[in-house]
Amino acid sequence: MDRIHDLALALKESRRLVVFTGAGISCPSGIPDFRSADGLYNRETNLRYPPEQIISHSFFKRDPALFYEFYKSAMVYPDARPNDAHRFFAALEAPDRDVTVVTQNIDGLHQAGGSTRVLELHGSIHRNFCMRCGKAFSLSDIMAQPGVPKCDCGGIIKPDVVLYEEPLDDGVVWQAVNAIEQADVMVVVGTSLAVYPAASYLRYFRGKTLALINKSETPYDGRADLAFHADVIEVVHALQKEL
C-alpha cells in the first residue's frame, strides 16, 4: 500500500513527532471507546442516568456513591495491558527523534507501553487525591475501598481525571500545543476528533505530514496528507514491515 510506505518514510525522516491519541488506540487492549455502537455511551446501564451526566463535576459532588459505582465498573480497567500500537509508537523514540504522545485517554497504557513523554489532556486513573488534605492515592488504593473511597482524614478521594464541566490543565495544554507547533510529523490515532477543545489542537500543526488512523471518518480527513480508515493494529503491523 503506497500510503503505508509514505507514512513509514515520514516516520523515518521525522525528528519531532507528535502522536495524538484517543480511545480507539486502547480498544485492542479491551477498553471500550465512548461513541461507537458498542461504546460506553451506548451501553445499557441500570443507573437511571446517562454516562455523560454521571461523569460530570456536578454529579460527582451531588452523588459520589453513584459516580464511583459507574466509574469503577465502566471506566477503570486495571488488568488492561498495552497493545502493539502503544508499543510501536514508544519504539519510535530515538536519540535523533523526539516523540511526544498527546492523549485524551486516562488509562496510562502509553507509559506502560514504554513512551517516556506523555501529555494526558484528561488526566489519569492512576493519580488520585484527597479533596480535603491533598494526599495522593494509587489506583489500587481506590479499588480496594468499597463504595466511595476516603482518606484517613475523612475526605473523599477524587480521581485526577477531567470530568465534564471541568477545565483542562493549563500547563498540560500549553505543553501539548507547543509540541504540536514544533512537530514535523503528526499522527492522529483512534479518535473521532469530536471532543473539544482537544480536537481543535490540530490547527496548531504546521509540519510536513499529518496522518489520521481511525476506523471511521473524521471531520479532519480532508485536511490530512494521509488518512487510514482501518484498525490501528493492522496499520501498525503494516508499518512495522516497512520500517
Query: How far apart are the C-alpha atoms of 188 and 210, rounded to whole Å?
Result: 8
The Cα–Cα gap between 211 and 228 comes to 8
Which of 206, 202, 211 lies closest to 182 in space, CA to CA?
A: 206
Residue 83: CA count within 13 A, CB half-sphere: 18
Whose cell is 477503570? That residue is 76
Active-site residue, from 86, 110, 122, 126: 122
Asked if residues 193 and 24 have their Cβ atoms less than 8 Å apart, the reply is no
What single-letter amino acid sits at 153? C
User: What's the rounded Cα separation, in Å, for the pair 190 and 212?
Assistant: 8
86 is catalytic: no
Q: Are strands 185-189 and 157-161 parallel, antiparallel or unpaired?
A: unpaired
Distance CA 173, CA 175 (A): 5
Q: Which residues are catalytic, by number? A: 122
